[in-house]
Amino acid sequence: MKYTRITVDPNQMGGVPCIRGLRIPVATIVGMLADGMSEQEILEAYPDLEPEDIREALRYAAEAVQERELPLRVA
Give yes or no for a contact between 12 and 21, defined as CB atoms under 8 angstroms apart: yes
Return the pLDDT at 64: 86
Render each residue's pLDDT in the chain as its tens digit; 75 residues. 689 999 999 999 999 999 999 999 999 999 999 999 999 999 999 999 999 999 999 999 998 888 666 566 665
Q: Is the pTM of this model over 0.75?
A: yes
Return the pLDDT at 2: 86
Domain ranges of the chain: 6-66
Return the pLDDT at 59: 94
> What single letter denotes the amino acid at residue 43?
L
N-terminal to C-terminal alpha carbon distance within the chain: 34
Residue 72 three-state SS: coil
Q: Does CATH number 1.10.443.10 belong to domain 6-66?
A: no
- Residue 6, beta-bridge partner list: 19
Distance separating alpha carbons of residues 19 and 26, to the nearest angstrom: 6
